[in-house]
Amino acid sequence: MDSQFIVSFAFILATFGLYVGIAIYNKAKVASDFYVAGRGVPAIYNGMAIGADWMSAASFIGLAGTVMILGYDGLGYIMGWTGGYLLLTFLLAPQLRKYGRYTVPEFIGDRYDSNVARLIAAVATIIISFTYSIGQMSGSGIVIGRLLEIDYRFGTMIGAVLIAVYAALGGMKGITWTQVAQYVVLITAYLIPVIFMSLQLTNNPLPWVSYGEVLEQMKVLDAELGISDYLTPFTNGTKWQFIALMFTLMAGTAGLPHVIVRFFTVSTMKAARWSGAWALLFIGLLYLSAPAYAAFSRFILMTQVANSPINALPEWTKSWVDTGKLIIADTNADGILQWTELQIANDIVVMATPEIANLGIFVIGLMAAGAMAAALSTAGGLMMAISSSLSHDIYFRSINPQATDKKRLSVGRWSIIIASLVAGVVALNPPGAITQIVAWAFALAAASFFPALLLGVWWKRSNAAGVISGMIVGLSVTLGYIFAAKYGGFTILGIIDTGAGVFGTAAALITNIVVSLATKPPSKKIQEEVQDLRYPEQMTYRDGEVWLDNGEDIPPTK
């Protein structure tokens, strides 16, 4: 056992202890604690929790690498994943909060007055959250595995068991405060190495300001090598693919049930608006730093690794060559490693930085804890979304509406435990690369939830037949396009599988509108409830009139 092992192990163990401790302290006592954290989370903390819930293992480990490898084309991920918060905070979150349900499928079921719609939404939540969680589980496995030098499959199961324990104990209340802690851990771990790297390369502690300098030097290096400039747009796909991907990620972000439900934990529409603003500020800290990581790492690889004699590469490259994340082959046998003879996996960029910049064992340990925090916080939120769908939308609303609070808590807890363990087992042999799976989850959310919620909030005429056919058509078009593009070589304007959401969303919106108009309008009560969402809590829309609750007299009953 070397000292690195002990330090990494200590960091991971300490953070795990913290998460379980928080969950024990915030144990859920009643159903509203379990599903919506008692609806009293302050906006700024909810912003942190949204940040941790949102930023996954893929964001933490893979995003900077994706930007490095794709150059300008990788920025579609950055703008898409942040821009989604505009759609969510402006168009959906406050209104959904006012409607006051526990889950997203429950909103869809009650707004459209349809059990079928609720069940489809519940199943879609489970499928989307499950696919998305596989990446988190295997991501946590890779981190634990690499740092503790054990098989990543053990790592995956350790992560799954940990989530099962702390999520089941605290429910949404425990997860909220765990996510706040996880945000602090992950952002600290993400920022420290990039700040040091910025200091080493540019003598400026602000990577966001300094990496322009590095980009300029890289332009010269690229020109010398005669390879296409790092910043040239649309080298890895068409402009339409860029735009389709960006749209898919935005609409998918606004439609992901595990993110939306975080807005249900605050007290008012105002708090929902502030949550969205804080959330994007906290998320922005990481997303603004990813391109800096990408620039610095590419620069170091170009100047310190490329053009070195193949038997005199820097020390840190060895462990990455061993794991196959860095592939070097002296194809022209001149004893020198050329840039074109290097193949870099995208996880390297962030995880190897502490070693590249020689930041010592504590930063490496912190990095491991940060990557774990990113994977666990997202996985926890996803397990919560799956459990809510199973225990609330399906069990309580459809199977046993008479269940006592105690019974519902126990069903909720067991469904989290089972979902976490099943996801852990599936993640032992994860299908496809992490980013790929995540990108599909976004296309599916963009095509099912986003149109259903958007029209549900903003168009009172939309009805049950419209939403059901819209969700089915949206999902079919998206899945059809993904498979046709991925395996059949069929594309429109060069849009590949990751951009499929743009077609699915359009198809779902059109279907919902056309079918709604062709069938009977929703009941007067529902139409009034939708119009009521235009106003803050204190204002109520009823019988064509708006009332202000000034607390003076008992509100007239409906």
Partner 1 sequence: MKKIDKKVADAYFRTRTTLIMSFLAIGAIVSFGVVLVAESLTEITVMGIPLHYYMGAQGAIVTFIILLFLNAIISDRIDKKYGIDESRNESIGKGNPIDH
Give me the DSSP letters along 188-230. HHHHHHHHHHHHHHHS-S-HHHHHHHHHHHHHHHHHHHTPPPT
Rounded CA gap, 103 and 260, in Å?
A: 9
Q: Is 213 in the site for partner 1 (CB under 8 A)?
A: yes
Q: Minimum distance between the CB of residue 40 and partner 1, rounded to whole angstroms? A: 7
Q: Is 21 in the site for partner 1 (CB under 8 A)?
A: no
Whichever of 311 and 402 has its CB closer to partner 1, that residue is: 402
Q: Is 522 in the site for partner 1 (CB under 8 A)?
A: no
Q: Minimum distance between the CB of residue 182 and partner 1, rounded to whole angstroms? A: 21
Please identify, among the stretches 171-179, 312-320, 336-344, 550-558, the one whose residues bind partner 1 according to the rule CB under 8 A. 550-558
Q: Which residue among 42, 284, 432, 480 contacts partner 1 (CB under 8 A)?
A: 284
Please identify, among the stretches 144-152, 162-170, 505-513, 536-544, the one whose residues bind partner 1 according to the rule CB under 8 A. 536-544
Q: Is 535 in the site for partner 1 (CB under 8 A)?
A: yes
Strand (E) or helix (H) holding 546: strand 545-548
Whichever of 110 and 355 has its CB closer to partner 1, that residue is: 110
**What 8-state DSSP symbol labels residue 234?**
T
Task: Classify strands 336-337 and 308-309 as parallel, antiparallel or unpaired.
Answer: antiparallel
Whichever of 315 and 545 has its CB closer to partner 1, that residue is: 545
Rounded CA gap, 334 and 327, in Å?
A: 17
Q: Which residue among 257, 276, 370, 504 contacts partner 1 (CB under 8 A)?
A: 276
In this structure, what are the phi and psi dihedrals at residue 150, rounded to the nearest 5 degrees?
Answer: -120, 165
Rounded CA gap, 26 and 42, in Å?
A: 15
CA-closest candidate to residue 197, choices 282, 295, 287: 295
Contact criterion met (CB below 8 Å) for 321 and 330: no
Give residues 141-170 in contact with partner 1 (rule: CB under 8 A).
none
Strand (E) or helix (H) holding 343: strand 342-344
Rounded CA gap, 454 and 104, in Å?
A: 12
Q: Is 555 in the site for partner 1 (CB under 8 A)?
A: yes
Q: Is 545 in the site for partner 1 (CB under 8 A)?
A: yes
Q: Is 83 in the site for partner 1 (CB under 8 A)?
A: yes
Rounded CA gap, 446 and 477, in Å?
A: 12
Q: Minimum distance between the CB of residue 478 and partner 1, rounded to whole angstroms? A: 20
Rounded CA gap, 297 and 352, in Å?
A: 9
Q: Is 459 in the site for partner 1 (CB under 8 A)?
A: no
Q: Minimum distance between the CB of residue 270 and partner 1, rounded to whole angstroms? A: 6
Q: Which residue among 79, 361, 479, 506 contacts partner 1 (CB under 8 A)?
A: 79
Q: Which residue among 267, 304, 338, 436 contacts partner 1 (CB under 8 A)?
A: 267
Please identify, among the stretches 251-259, 339-347, 491-499, 542-550, the one whose residues bind partner 1 according to the rule CB under 8 A. 542-550
Q: Is 262 in the site for partner 1 (CB under 8 A)?
A: no
Residue 407 sits at the vertex; the CA angle it makes with 406 and 412, to the nearest 5 degrees, is 100
CA 185 remoteness from chain centre? 17
Q: Is 341 in the site for partner 1 (CB under 8 A)?
A: no
Angstrom CA distances, 158 to 139, 174, 381, stand at: 12, 19, 17
Q: Minimum distance between the CB of residue 191 and partner 1, rounded to whole angstroms? A: 16
Q: Which residue among 212, 309, 314, 335 contacts partner 1 (CB under 8 A)?
A: 212
Q: Which residue among 4, 188, 200, 268 contacts partner 1 (CB under 8 A)?
A: 268
Strand (E) or helix (H) holding 455: helix 434-458
Q: Is 269 in the site for partner 1 (CB under 8 A)?
A: yes
Whichever of 164 and 290 has its CB closer to partner 1, that residue is: 290
Q: Which residue among 226, 324, 489, 544 contacts partner 1 (CB under 8 A)?
A: 544
Number of residues that bind partner 1 (CB under 8 A): 75
Please identify, among the stretches 115-123, 147-155, 182-190, 543-551, the one whose residues bind partner 1 according to the rule CB under 8 A. 543-551
Q: Is 402 in the site for partner 1 (CB under 8 A)?
A: no
The pattern of x and - marking residues 27 through 66 that bind partner 1 according to CB under 8 A reads ----xx------xx--------------------------
Give me the DSSP letters along 93-153. HHHHHHHT-SSHHHHHHHHTT-HHHHHHHHHHHHHHHHHHHHHHHHHHHHHHHHHHTS-HH
Whichever of 229 and 330 has its CB closer to partner 1, that residue is: 229
What's the sign of the alpha-carbon dihedral 535, 540, 546, 549?
negative
What's the sign of the alpha-carbon dihedral 57, 306, 149, 293?
negative
Give residues 466-505 in contact with partner 1 (rule: CB under 8 A).
none
The single-letter code of the amino acid at 250 is: M
Rounded CA gap, 429 and 427, in Å?
A: 5
Give residues 89-118 in contact with partner 1 (rule: CB under 8 A).
89-91, 97-98, 100-102, 110
SS3 category, 542: strand
**What residues have CB less than 8 Å from 509, skipping those under 6 apart?**
451, 454, 455, 470
- Give helix 239-255 / helix 434-458 axis angle, nearest 10°: 60
**What residues have CB less than 8 Å from 20, skipping those under 6 apart?**
162, 165, 166, 169
Give residues 191-210 in contact with partner 1 (rule: CB under 8 A).
208-209
Whichever of 156 and 346 has its CB closer to partner 1, that residue is: 346
Q: Minimum distance between the CB of residue 33 and partner 1, rounded to whole angstroms? A: 11
Tokens standing for residue 347: 């996880």
Whichever of 78 and 434 has its CB closer to partner 1, that residue is: 78
Please identify, among the stretches 57-65, 133-141, 267-275, 361-369, the one whose residues bind partner 1 according to the rule CB under 8 A. 267-275
Q: Is 2 in the site for partner 1 (CB under 8 A)?
A: no
Whichever of 325 and 392 has its CB closer to partner 1, that residue is: 392
Burial annotation 296-329 (CB, 10 A radius, 16+ → b, else e)? bbbbbbbeebbebeeeebeebbeebeeeebbebe
In this structure, what are the phi and psi dihedrals at residue 522, rounded to the nearest 5 degrees?
Answer: -65, 165
Give residues 216-255 in contact with partner 1 (rule: CB under 8 A).
216, 231-234, 239, 242-243, 246-247
Q: Which residue among 48, 78, 143, 351 contacts partner 1 (CB under 8 A)?
A: 78
Q: Minimum distance between the CB of residue 231 and partner 1, rounded to whole angstroms? A: 5
What is the C-alpha R_g of the chain?
24
